[in-house]
Structure 1
Amino acid sequence: MLRLTARQSKTISSVARRNLVSFSGAKTKTTTLPNGFTVASETIPGASTATVGVWVDSGSRAENAYNNGTANVFEHIAFKGTQSRSQQKLIQDIEAVGGEFSAYTNLENSAFYAKSLKEDVPKTVELISDMLKNTKIDNSTIEAERSSLLAQAEAVEANYKQTVFDHLHATAFQQQGLGRTIIGPADNVVSITETEVSKYVSGAIKADKLVLVGAGNVEHEQLVTLAQKHFAGLPASTPASQFGTTKASSEDANQYKKPVFIGSEVRLRDDTMPVAYIAIAVEGVSKSSPDYFTAQVAAAVIGNWSAKSSSALFQGSKLAALAAQEKFALSFESFSKSYTDTGLWGIYFTTNVVDRIDDVSHFALKEWNKLSTSVSQADVERAKAAVKAQLILSLDSADAVAKDIGESIVNTGRRVTAEEIERSVEKVTDAQVRAWAQKNLYDQDIAISALGPIEGLLDYLRIRNDMSMMRW
């Protein structure tokens, strides 16, 4: 059966004769093989190179407390050789196509992709399929990579912003998949063996959990042919997996229909540090929520600011103007992080004026409260322009487009086009922002993560009380 999207002229492709399910969006074309394997591509006019890769509908969230970090280990050893290629041969074949191979793992998915010339796309797809389907998984390979994994963990600890956000997730989603780090605890890093990795791969590398993505100088028909050649024999999950559904491990001790947000805090006080790093958040919205863009606009109303910016004194955000005037912070950024079935919405700030930490948190939450009562259409219009610039202009390369296609499909089941984004953002009104804030911000529990000289950060209940103060 062939199904095509509306709102455009349609031509029946030859894929219809091969029992494939094919869709053509305004730009992104998708085809599903009989075994559930998905192919998605977007041709970028004028592009001289192609980015192709496989996105996997499984990340660290699919792990449990005992094997947390396994997806990251698999990402590392995938480049160390396959059943038919030694590490040296794999590297030589990668160099032969002149490609730039990359991989990453996040909470909900993993990706293995490369940039190459159009004529090298077939070889690139073959290499990636071999790396995923025939990875050499043995204890000697894992042990050889152990030092690199530990060095990666140390690098994350040295990244204070990442550390704060890791702890923010850990306290907000305690003992749940979203509360665990991508790298995993040190005890797991040194103890994971081929048993854990093999079990993870056997569940993750399934036809209905993979998307072959192409962006740039690519042809969709060619990618479909390559997918049939290299992935048509891959089995599907039992029971069948569906994109956009909960990513939690079936072996996790804490199983919920959706993650449970817990109002709580974690404080890592270190008075030897010159700067305090603090994040405060409420439960956010999922990527498929009808309020997704409203939450993005609400965050943009609060805005981002840095004392280093040449326009620090002239930004439209009221909190930015106050920070520039009072000089009580070095920077702040609002965020709306969304996952398959939940999210985190909040603010992250840094300050070296440790006796005014309470001022920063107090005035930030005061601006949050104003979203419930007095946000203006002018504020919303400014925020909408910022959101559109961030979401649309960020797709400035084939790599970025490929990542957006891959993550969109595995997380929501479909790719939202730039035109849809623009229309959805444009529809957001001040009344919608107020309604969203009254439901999701006013008198809601918060999660706090703080690192550094944080003695001036007042107790949790004092900060929590600011969530319901409506007048000053």
Structure 2
Amino acid sequence: MTVEIHTLSNGFRVVCEVMPGLKSAALGIWVDAGGRHERADQNGIAHFLEHMAFKGTARRSALQIAEAIEDVGGYINAYTSREMTAYYARVLEQDVPLAMDVIADILLNPVFDTREIEVERGVILQEIGQALDTPDDIIFDWLQEQAYPGQPIGRPILGPAERVNAFTRDDLAGFVQDQYGPEQMILAAAGAVDPQELVKLAEAHFGHLPARAPANKATPARFGGGEARHDKPLEQAHFALAFEGPDYCADRIYAAQIYAIAMGGGMSSRLFQDLRENRGLCYTIFAQTGAYSDTGMMTLYAGTSGEQLGALAELTVDTMKRAAEDMSAQEVARARAQMKAGMLMGLECPANRAERLARLLSIWGKVPSLEETTRRIDAVTTGDVRDFGAEMLGRAGTAMALYGPVGGAPSLETLRERLAA
């Protein structure tokens, strides 16, 4: 499978990968306009705009948008992240032109009907309320805010309710005008697609757009650190810890991911075995690495009782500290195999492959081959993983978020001292 990249004269990019044997395709537009591209008074508008994309265009009503894709058995959806907003569809091979037409329509011709804005405002406020009522969801927003205090990348994607309540039609249209230029857009497709036909479709739908720079570029991220403690009489105490990690382009990203998998990526991981299986301190515990274009985080999460929270927090940092010294070759080999298998299995889905194409092209300006990526994973040594762990734990920046009966939890400063001891 070969990746093809083409750039239109106005800067609009097309990236495509044919997957032989498939009868369907995934395609969409990824826009370099997410939460970190918002001003403080715009927090939540990128997500609001994503919702409004399906609420009607100059050519189609909201129902007609849904019917156009579902009449041919496909599906259409969207999501907002801190760095991108995506509008994508999955259809059969012969329906790729239709999907392209619908996606272009919702991006280029939204009407932003005032009645529909009010309806969707209510939906988003319900979504915010649901997140606030879901402890193992909202705790990651609080953790992000502590990791990147006072920065766009640290703000919640949904935005605060008071901001969502204030957005107007002009606000939505203005964000599109400021951030949705052709140079910020990538058409990515994978599966049963014809690369030449895809470029023709892109030219027909987006080639007329004038090139323009975004009005609000993302400011460089600075990992800070701090503690958010929300004491509430819940059944469980929720504990989340974050350390600064490498950005998506850094060489150490592979060592970071392998370290996170070995620490908390599965049932054989250290944290799962030590804290759940051997000590019974929790039901859920995991570690993961998240990366952005210029920064990254390693995150740990666990849920436990208020009485056991202190022991769990202390043993978590003890286990991490010990792993930086004695992570075994067997653990690294297992984590490396999990990482490669997870990546390759996931990329058997054309939707995941299209997302990978867009993400890599946006950040790197190219799409490394899977062979190159697996070689870089295989090149990570046990020493690399240990060194990464020691370096990460030795940095000053650490963030923590607690929610529930957390009165007995140690402070972040206490945990930092324990790591340094």
Conservation of the 8 A alpha-carbon contact between 2:149 and 2:225: no
Cα 1:447/1:225, change in 2 over 3 Å: same
2:40 counterpart SS class: coil
Q: State how far apart, in whole Å, the 1-side matches of 2:103 and 2:298 are.
A: 36
Conservation of the 8 A alpha-carbon contact between 2:52 and 2:120: yes
Matched, 1:366 2:318: yes
Cα 1:92/1:368, change in 2 over 3 Å: closer
Return the letter of the residue paired with 2:26. T
Structure 1 residue aligned with 2:297: 344
Conservation of the 8 A alpha-carbon contact between 2:271 and 2:285: no
Higher percent of residues as helix:
2
Conservation of the 8 A alpha-carbon contact between 1:70 and 1:192: yes
Deviations 1:30-80 (A, max 9, x none): 111111111111111221211111111111111122111111111111111
Q: State how far apart, in whole Å, the 2-side matches of 1:180 and 1:316 are.
A: 31
1:144 to 116, 119, 122: 119
1:85 to 60, 71, 75: 60
Matched, 1:295 2:256: yes
Q: State how far apart, in whole Å, the 1-side matches of 2:276 and 2:64 are.
A: 56
Conservation of the 8 A alpha-carbon contact between 1:215 and 1:401: yes
Structure 2 residue aligned with 1:457: 409
Q: Runs ≥4 in structure 1, deviation > 4 angstroms?
A: none
2:190 counterpart SS class: strand
Conservation of the 8 A alpha-carbon contact between 1:445 and 1:464: no
Structure 2 residue aligned with 1:264: 226
Structure 1 residue aligned with 2:151: 176
1:147 Cα deviation (Å)?
Answer: 1.2
1:45 counterpart SS class: coil
Cα 1:318/1:178, change in 2 over 3 Å: closer
2:307 to 355, 368, 373: 355
Matched, 1:279 2:231: no
Structure 1 residue aligned with 2:280: 327
In percent, how many aligned pairs have the same letter? 30
Deviations 1:74-95 (A, max 9, x none): 1111111112333344344334
2:394 to 442, 449, 463: 442
1:342 Cα deviation (Å)?
Answer: 0.5
Q: State how far apart, in whole Å, the 1-side matches of 2:186 and 2:23 are.
A: 23
Q: What number of residue pairs does the alignment pair up? A: 421
Pairing of 1:15-34 with structure 2 (within 5 A):
27-34=2-9
Return the letter of the residue paired with 1:263. G
Deviations 1:385-413 (A, max 9, x none): 12212222222311121122222222332
2:79 to 104, 111, 116: 104
Structure 2 residue aligned with 1:156: 131
TM-score in terms of structure 1 length: 0.85
TM-score in terms of structure 2 length: 0.95
Q: Gaps (5+ residues) in structure 1? A: 1-25, 242-247, 306-311
1:112 counterpart SS class: strand
Q: Gaps (5+ residues) in structure 2? A: none
1:340 Cα deviation (Å)?
Answer: 0.9
1:319 Cα deviation (Å)?
Answer: 5.3
1:360 counterpart SS class: helix
1:355 counterpart SS class: coil
Matched, 1:408 2:360: yes
